[in-house]
Amino acid sequence: MIVYLLCYLAAVLFARTQYYLLSGTALLFAALVLFWREKRRNGGRVNLLALLSLFFVGGEGISCLKLSRLQGPWELQTFAAFFLAYGAFRLAFLFSGGREQDSRRVREGRLTEIRAGRLFVAVAGLTALSAAAFLAEVRILGFVPFLVRHMPHAYSYFHVSGLHYLTVSCVLVPSLALLYVNVVHHRSTVTNLGLLAAVAVSLLIPVLCVSRFQLLLAVLMAAFTWLNFRREPIPAPLAGLGLVCLLGVYGILSMARGHSVSYLNGIFEMKRNFPIFVSQPYIYIANNYDNVNCLIRELPSHSFGLKMLFPFFALTGLKFLRPELVNFPIYVTKTELTTVTLIYDAWYDFGILGVVLFMALLGFIAARFEKKLRSVHSPVFCMLYAQLAIYLMLSFFTTWFSNPATWVYFGETAFVLWFVGGKQQWK
């Protein structure tokens, strides 16, 4: 924490004197040190605190490099908000017992027995539900985003309120199928073909929706579930093949969205002529922090809890009965770049106090997840843990816990956790 404090003070000083490369470098160094030390103290395993250290603090460092003309000097309140956000999470995580106490040995939680037949039913049922919802959306809206041309934001219009949550539930299927393969070693050919078909459909739906993020989420969740269940690295050839395929499909979806390189570069407004594979990831990370700075600078008054209650208003339908409950302006540097960081809505609601309380609560919950993973748990709990890990890893991207889809995913996974629970032996 001392390294973090010193590097942060240096970053603020460099930023105030407009030495932005040094400012960003100081925070990137802090992120790497925090990640490495947390991983070492946790017996070599990457825990939730290590993920947040690397990606949240590291993302802040990338933003402080100021490689885009969209980025301007930060308010001191912005620096304070990001510093206290990480500090609150870290202190709550450590005081709640999130770190393994004996760094020489990481206890591996014992897996409980589950009803394997019900797990297959969950894979098939969720696939069928997602596919049916997708077809219903196509019928209602009259188009498939992947097949539409000259509509750069086709996916943004492919939403039937309420129904779309079921469509995107396909992202859970690869992880459930992976768990089934790992707990049921003697499977029939029909079962294997069924699992393969379910995974293929679940990955096809994000492609047809032209949703790069849903495809990435499905793949990341399966990878994290594997790591938490098997406690061993993914084989290098398999990981390499998966990465190549994912990048290929990502490129195809980018073209299908109608986003040309000149169009994207015009939005990103980079200070130098970087290749698109550098400028796009950079702006998708860096500008989110500047959007928080924009919020802090321009917000006239706080929403006192209403912003973070959006999932409740959306899932209960109250947003249709009382639209004023959810109609809050968004403060961003550019209208096309609306992604924000994890703390955006917490500041919107209560300012810096909201940021501290929200991140402290999140740190406490993360610690509980870590302790559960080190004790007796169901294989499906590895999926729940994987979801939280992804949200912390992508903490630079958006306000995950103000997104109704996040709670739909948690709810569906918790239902499967209950559904497959039991004392029968794996078969």
Mean per-residue pLDDT, 167-184:
92
Q: Which residues of 165-185 are buried (b: 16+ CB within 10 A; e: fewer)?
A: bbbbbbbbbbbbbbbbebbbe
Each residue's pLDDT tens digit, 255-300: 656 566 776 777 888 888 888 778 888 998 999 999 999 999 999 9
Residue 169 in this model has a pLDDT that exceeds 90: yes
**Is-contact 175 386, C-beta < 8 A?**
yes
Q: What is the pLDDT of residue 80?
A: 96
Measured between alpha carbons, how far is 100 from 54 in angstroms, rounded to an integer?
Answer: 19
Mean per-residue pLDDT, 88-104:
79
- Select the more confidently predicted residue: 108 or 403: 403
Among 185-199, 208-222, 289-303, the range with the most confident prediction by mean pLDDT is 289-303
Which residues make Cβ contacts (< 8 Å) with residue 385, sequence separation at least 6?
A: 224, 228, 369, 372, 373
Residue 308 in this model has a pLDDT that exceeds 60: yes
- Split at pLDDT 50, 70, 90, the class of 216 is confident
Among 45-49, 94-98, 353-357, the range with the most confident prediction by mean pLDDT is 353-357
- Split at pLDDT 50, 70, 90, the class of 321 is confident
- Select the more confidently predicted residue: 211 or 357: 357
**Is-contact 167 213, C-beta < 8 A?**
no
Lowest mean pLDDT among 46-50, 155-159, 352-356, 362-366: 155-159
Residue 423 in this model has a pLDDT that exceeds 50: no
Each residue's pLDDT tens digit, 323-375: 888 899 999 998 888 889 999 999 999 999 999 999 999 999 999 999 988 88
What percent of the chain is predicted at pLDDT more than 70? 87
Q: Where are the domains of the chain?
A: 1-102+113-268+357-393+403-427
Q: What is the pLDDT of residue 330?
A: 92
Burial (CB < 10 A; 0-12, 13-18, 19+), residue 414, is middle
- Split at pLDDT 50, 70, 90, the class of 425 is very low
- Split at pLDDT 50, 70, 90, the class of 239 is low
Average predicted confidence (pLDDT) for the chain: 87
**Is-contact 202 127, C-beta < 8 A?**
yes
Mean per-residue pLDDT, 186-207:
92
- Split at pLDDT 50, 70, 90, the class of 104 is very low
What is the identity of the amino acid at 348? Y
Q: What is the pLDDT of residue 103?
A: 46
Lowest mean pLDDT among 83-87, 104-108, 309-313: 104-108
The H-or-E segment that residue 40 falls in is helix 20-41
Q: What is the pLDDT of residue 236?
A: 62
Q: Which residues of 78-89 are buried (b: 16+ CB within 10 A; e: fewer)?
A: bbebbbbbbbbb
